């Protein structure tokens, strides 16, 4: 029988510990992985937010988009950010306090334990979907939190299709590196996971397909 390696990303404590460890230097990894400067702003634009809207950000981390989202939904709207890593959230808390963003809520919790009586107009994954060991499960969970007609937007990275056939011999090294840095799963095909939701997926590629913004409407 083939030996299967447990998926560490399925263990919330493992994920939390890894992100706590890299919290101070996370911005360096964004440079290392050549994250497009405009990627987050373009992703936010695809959320289609307006005054009084409610938006949930899953795996918000230090939440660089916090101020922009808060402005878009206005004082009567709501921005909710949730993350497993307390240390990643600390900078988001500091930003919320400094700018007095009263329409925002930051939650240190596992998304699978999160429920809300009110649905959201939009849900956003900023470089976080590939950090989940069970992407199908998290997508189904948040799909129930999205109102009919609402938008799900995923900003993430992947090994481009044209590179994947040649990456085979290097995959053990790539996996090891990812597990020690930004946690993202190099074996995951995030767009295929999104298509399982059953709605059309619109995709904008960047950096030769290494980064993408996917938009899907419920």
Q: How confident is the model at residue 94 (pLDDT cuts 50, 70, 90)?
A: very high
**Residues composing the chain:** 218
Mean pLDDT of the chain: 85
Q: Is residue 149 part of a domain?
A: yes
Q: Is residue 20 part of a domain?
A: yes
Strand-by-strand arrangement of the 104-108 sheet: 104-108, 78-83, 54-58, 120-126, 146-157, 211-217, 201-206
The pLDDT of residue 129 is: 93
Q: Is residue 134 part of a domain?
A: yes
Residue span of the structural domain in which 165 resides: 8-217
Q: Is residue 40 part of a domain?
A: yes
19: enclosing H helix or E strand: helix 12-22
53-76 tens-digit pLDDT: 999 999 999 999 999 999 999 999
Contact between 106 and 60 under an 8 Å Cβ cutoff? The reply is: yes
Instruction: Report the alpha-carbon distance of residue 136 to residue 177 in Å, rounded.
Output: 24
Residue 79 pairs with which residues in a beta bridge? Answer: 55, 104
Say which CATH number the domain at 54 has.
Answer: 3.40.50.150
Instruction: Report the alpha-carbon distance of residue 213 to residue 204 in Å, rounded.
Output: 5
Q: Is residue 36 part of a domain?
A: yes
Q: Is residue 130 part of a domain?
A: yes
Q: Is residue 140 part of a domain?
A: yes
Mean of the pLDDT values across residues 16-34?
A: 67
**Pick from 111, 108, 133: nearest CA to 184:** 133
Which pairing describes strands 104-108 and 211-217: parallel, antiparallel, or unpaired?
A: unpaired
Instruction: Report the alpha-carbon distance of residue 123 to residue 83 in Å, rounded.
Output: 14
Instruction: Report the alpha-carbon distance of residue 156 to residue 80 in Å, rounded.
Output: 19
Handedness of CA 169, 172, 177, 182 (dihedral sign): positive
DSSP letter at 112? G
Mean of the pLDDT values across residues 7-29?
A: 72
Token couple for 3: 């030996």
Q: Is residue 3 part of a domain?
A: no
Residue 168 pLDDT exceeds 50: yes
Residue 4 pLDDT exceeds 50: no
Instruction: Report the alpha-carbon distance of residue 204 to residue 211 in Å, rounded.
Output: 9
The pLDDT of residue 163 is: 61
Q: How confident is the model at residue 207 (pLDDT cuts 50, 70, 90)?
A: confident
The pLDDT of residue 2 is: 36
Contact between 63 and 85 under an 8 Å Cβ cutoff? The reply is: no
The pLDDT of residue 172 is: 63
Number of domains composing the chain: 1
* Helices and strands (DSSP H and E) totals, the chain: 8, 7
The half-sphere exposure of 54 on its side-chain side, counting CA atoms within 13 A, is 11
Token couple for 133: 């060991």
């Amino acid at each position: 029988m083939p030996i299967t390696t447990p998926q560490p990303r399925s263990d919330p404590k493992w994920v939390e510990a890894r992100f706590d460890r890299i919290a101070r230097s996370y911005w360096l990894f964004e440079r290392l992985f050549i994250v497009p400067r405009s990627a987050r702003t373009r992703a936010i634009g695809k959320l289609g937010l307006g005054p009084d809207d409610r938006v949930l950000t899953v795996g918000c981390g230090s939440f660089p988009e916090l101020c922009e989202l808060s402005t878009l939904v206005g004082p009567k709207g709501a921005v909710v950010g949730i993350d497993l890593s307390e240390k990643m959230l600390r900078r988001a808390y500091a930003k919320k306090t400094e700018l007095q963003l009263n329409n925002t809520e930051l939650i240190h919790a596992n998304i699978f334990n999160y429920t809300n009586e009110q649905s959201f107009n939009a849900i956003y994954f900023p470089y976080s979907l590939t950090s989940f060991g069970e992407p199908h499960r998290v997508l189904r969970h948040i799909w129930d939190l999205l109102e009919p007609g609402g938008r799900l937007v995923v900003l993430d990275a992947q090994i481009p299709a044209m590179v994947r056939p040649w990456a085979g011999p290097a995959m053990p090294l790539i996996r090891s590196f990812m597990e020690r840095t930004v946690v993202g799963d190099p074996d995951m095909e995030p767009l295929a996971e999104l298509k399982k939701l059953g709605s059309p997926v619109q995709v904008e590629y960047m950096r030769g397909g290494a980064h993408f913004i996917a938009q899907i409407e419920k």
